[in-house]
């Protein structure tokens, strides 16, 4: 393996191990960070659905305070939980860019912009799932499990490609 590959791969993989350990042992059991991100997703999805003219019910009381329920009136709605908040994929994106070659000045704007993009993509995902639950609830499971998973990881992969192609100059 080339030296430049080791400079990226070893720290990236080690940081991923640390991240997953911290996430599983500290972040996930405390619910605090997941709850904050979930509340943001639900609030932003509520705003978009309201702007589109839908009456929306949002509640965080139904599910222990860290899961959130959002529904277009007349539907069962969707639950946003820790597995759906995007924290893990945000960490994956962050660590990839952090350890890739490139100017720190570019990382200082690219990472926050990418994290914001992932969050907004996730908000749009919840909006679409809430609308699916209203109009085609039979399509929810497939789109939740496959369509939006592929789209989210494709979006993050595209961000990585942009970084490598335009900013990862040594």
What is the chain's pLDDT, residue by residue, as a tens digit (170 residues)? 556 667 888 999 999 999 989 988 988 887 788 888 998 999 999 999 999 999 999 886 545 556 788 999 999 999 998 888 999 999 999 999 999 999 999 999 999 999 999 999 999 999 999 999 999 999 999 999 999 999 999 999 999 999 999 998 85
Return the domain boundaries, the chain: 3-167
Task: Work out whether the CA dihedral 68, 144, 111, 82 comes out positive or negative.
Answer: positive
């Amino acid at each position: 393996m080339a030296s430049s590959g080791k400079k990226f791969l070893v720290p990236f993989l080690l940081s991923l191990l640390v991240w997953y350990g911290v996430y599983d042992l500290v972040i996930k059991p405390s619910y605090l960070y997941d709850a904050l991100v979930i509340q943001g997703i639900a609030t932003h999805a509520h705003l978009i659905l309201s702007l589109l003219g839908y009456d929306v019910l949002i509640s965080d009381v139904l599910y222990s305070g860290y899961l959130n329920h959002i529904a277009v009136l007349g539907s069962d709605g969707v639950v946003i939980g820790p597995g759906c908040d995007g924290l893990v994929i945000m960490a994956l994106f962050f660590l990839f860019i952090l350890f890739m070659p490139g100017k720190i000045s570019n990382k200082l704007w690219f990472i926050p912009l990418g994290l914001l993009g992932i969050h907004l993509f996730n908000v749009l995902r919840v909006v679409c799932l809430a609308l699916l639950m209203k109009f085609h609830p039979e399509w929810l499971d497939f789109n939740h499990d496959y369509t939006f998973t592929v789209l989210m990881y494709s979006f993050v992969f595209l961000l990585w490609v942009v970084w490598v192609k335009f900013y990862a100059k040594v």
